[in-house]
A and B are shown apart, each in its own frame.
Chain A
């Protein structure tokens, strides 16, 4: 009996010791991204006051939409502790498929492409869950497969899109000149946010990311939730590919490949921990805005675009180092 008591007291004490540290960390992860965003916007508007004019704000938001849609999907997978490295390649494949199918199927091509990409996500999720292969490896393999498919069906060429089937992705609506892409991005954020708010999905994802065996024992449908996260991630990648085609009037097998690092950077900079169990839609929106404003800021500051890659790499490492939950990592592999 006494042994049990001792154990309980020590766990209680440890709990007490731990609580303030944990919540301080979470508070930091909540305030930091917002503070960084405010500082960045402030710095750029001092350097160039034109930045705060509606026209340039709309342009910045407009350019961030494909990144936003990609990041929202990938965030769900990271939230349950995995990672989806295939999103950028999947968006490239989607761009090729849209460009190929629009002449025949008109608007239905968009629906079909999103479904195909959701299917790709489903395959990755099922392989990850059923064969119990680490998600980074499954999606790395997926990355190669989707790029291969994109190369084969496009013949490694850029495919132009004519007509105005996809004009809705990239126009300005009358009145305040609001870009349609921003409204679409806001709609995706609203839908995902409402699903997270009104259904138990958010709690399931966080439970899986925090402690998977405990979630399983508590009756959380672990396998289905994980596969669902991969499906949504795939569908978002497909939709982001469509948005990119609307912007460039062409699909290409490597169109979105350079977006992988910005996506991961946006998610972790927003405060979502790469270890899972902590994060959300709002944080990802903040993260995407930080990355977009940074990109604008770097060009305002006159930084050579060649340096941007170095910058993203350093940013990802620094952000992961800051946001990672080390109490979960016994051994870092």
Chain B
């Protein structure tokens, strides 16, 4: 499955004049933003409840967890890899934080350290994925599929049939407390987005991730330690998924195995719709956040106009395939190998 990439960016020379190329890149950068605005306008017309201050807060609050996940996923996607392990990592993180903080199942109370432990556990998952993918040369979609099952399995073992409810009062405060009208978790998400942006722009990880995704052979030839930075990207992503698992546990007040159900696909949809190419080398945290808002607004708007919530997964499925088809359509070639 090595060629599980959408092909490289089209050759720069002689193909398109500079102006049309610039126009294409403008479309890639601002197209999703335009789609978001259009989506908001459509729903405002269709539903009077959509364009209200309260609903805006709803949208932002419900985007928090997905935004955190997508920041992590973006770095993996920029490499040209994929991550299907989000549900497993989140499940393990959710169960472990619920069991390590003051809870109804045992007497352990590590307080804030429990959150650190869950995030570290997520990072361990990411590290394992990265080492397996780069060391044993297994395509990432296969490694992460296996990792997801392992994570869900560990979470099921930890769950052991009795749901651990968090009794720590501090956590309850975080779940219900608000700052400036938004839940505290929304500000955590904004913090993670800022950290993601800083990592993307000011660290080697961010720059090399894009370089590796754009042209891995060139990155290798120019002396970048490709394997190391791939592993670091997976580890960073794993830590972020761990934090997302913690956030879900805080929201629910208890640790469940299903903490991350549906989030994996929503995150891939968000990143792709936002303009992060699955082939790697393009996109970034800001692109993905626009994608997260598109997905959240879509879910919110569809509920408001009375569409069955069961349809939402199917809508995401269609959108992600359509978005990839649209962005990759110009790259089609008769002899291109796509597996």
Contact = CB atoms under 8 A, between A and B. Distances in A.
Interface of A: 81-83, 127-128, 131-138, 140-145, 147-149, 151-152, 156, 212-213, 216, 261, 264, 274-276, 304, 306-317, 320-321, 324, 326, 328-333
B91 to A, nearest CB: 10
Contact of B317 (A128, A133, A148, A152): A148
Given A135-B339, A152-B310, A307-B157, A141 B2 contact: no
Contact of A128 (B7, B145, B146, B338): B338
B5 interface: yes
Interface in B136-159: 136-143, 145-154, 156-157, 159
B328 interface: yes
Contacts of B132: 317, 321
Nearest to A155: B310
A140 B317 CA distance: 7
Contacts of B56: none
Contacts of A308: 153
Given A314-B146, A333-B4, A137 B320 contact: yes
Interface string B296-317: 0000000000001011111111
Contact of B314 (A132, A149, A330): A149
Contact of B149 (A135, A261, A320, A326): A261
Interface residues of B, number: 68
B134 interface: yes
B320 A314 contact: no
Contact of B338 (A134, A147, A316): A134
Interface centre among B145, B146, B280, B337 (most CB of A within 10 A): B146
A309 B339 contact: no
Nearest to B325: A131
B247 interface: no
A264 B320 CA distance: 23
Contacts, number: 184
B101 interface: no
A317 B313 contact: no
A162 B228 CA distance: 58
B150 A314 contact: yes
A189 B310 CA distance: 36
B162 interface: no
A309 B156 contact: yes
Residue among B142, B148, B157 with the most chain A CB within 10 A?
Answer: B142
B75 to A, nearest CB: 14
Nearest to B135: A321
Contact of B321 (A141, A316, A333): A141
B149 A309 contact: yes
Nearest to A152: B310
B39 interface: no
A326 B154 CA distance: 30
Given A131-B325, A152-B311, A310-B154, 14 more contacts: A132-B7, A134-B3, A135-B338, A140-B320, A144-B316, A148-B311, A148-B313, A148-B314, A276-B339, A324-B138, A329-B2, A329-B139, A332-B138, A333-B5
A131 B332 contact: yes
8 contacts: A131-B325, A137-B324, A142-B321, A310-B149, A310-B154, A313-B153, A328-B2, A333-B1
